[in-house]
Amino acid sequence: MPTLPSITARKVGSSRWANATDGVGADVVLEAAAGDVGEASFQLVVPFGRVVLFGARNIHEGFAPERIQQLIYKNQSVTGFNLPSMHPEQLAECVPKLLDLITQRQLKLFASHTFPLDQVRAAFEALASRQTTGKVVLIP
């Protein structure tokens, strides 16, 4: 698997979801939404890319034949992830590396909305009404 600095961006077809990457696809998509949003997530994955499924909503989903065809023809892969299954030692090993990547700006965090902490109700309403893409951040 290539290291993060060696991953190159590739163009993807036009869709409203491609806007999240400025028209550039993703080598890895972390998918927890399922349903229509989950289906759209697969459109962001470039050839040889990977989708990581996590979250309870995905356990009730299946793959349509068209999705399996996409995975095969584009050499894409799907894997599952469950944080509670990880051992504390594994987490302790990963966190410093992750923070280093963020600090060095080699990993871009995507948050579509930020709210002051005193507007937590507005943040929750934005999430609940699906007006957001990516994470929502509360600023203390």
| Among 99, 97, 95, 71, residue whose Cα is nearest residue 83 | 95
Residue 52 has pLDDT above 80, yes or no: yes
In this structure, are 75 and 134 located in the same domain? no
In this structure, are 127 and 70 located in the same domain? no
88 within some domain: no
In this structure, are 121 and 75 located in the same domain? no
In this structure, are 74 and 13 located in the same domain? yes
In this structure, are 137 and 73 located in the same domain? no
Confidence band for 2, pLDDT divided at 50, 70 and 90: very low
12 or 102, which is more confident? 102
pLDDT in the model for residue 76: 94
96 within some domain: no
Long-range contacts of range 36-42, CB-CB < 8 Å, 24 or more positions apart? Answer: 37/130, 39/67, 40/15, 40/16, 41/17, 42/67, 42/70
Residues paired with 102 in a beta bridge? none
> The tokens of 69 are what?
């065809």
> The tokens of 133 are what?
């893409």
Domain extent, residue 57, equals: 4-83
In this structure, are 18 and 74 located in the same domain? yes
CA dist., res. 75 & res. 47, Å (int): 6
> Tell me: the pLDDT tens digits for 122-138?
998 988 887 777 678 88
Please count the structural domains in the chain: 2
In this structure, are 70 and 133 located in the same domain? no
Instruction: Give the 3-state secondary structure of residue 68.
Output: helix
131 within some domain: yes
43 within some domain: yes
89 within some domain: no
CA dist., res. 11 & res. 79, Å (int): 23
CA dist., res. 7 & res. 27, Å (int): 8
Q: Give the domain-ending residue among 66, 83, 100.
A: 83
> Tell me: the pLDDT tens digits for 15-35?
555 666 677 788 888 887 777
- Find the CATH number of the domain harbouring 15: 3.40.50.720
In this structure, are 127 and 79 located in the same domain? no
> Tell me: the pLDDT tens digits for 69-99?
999 999 999 998 888 888 888 888 888 888 8
Confidence band for 14, pLDDT divided at 50, 70 and 90: very low
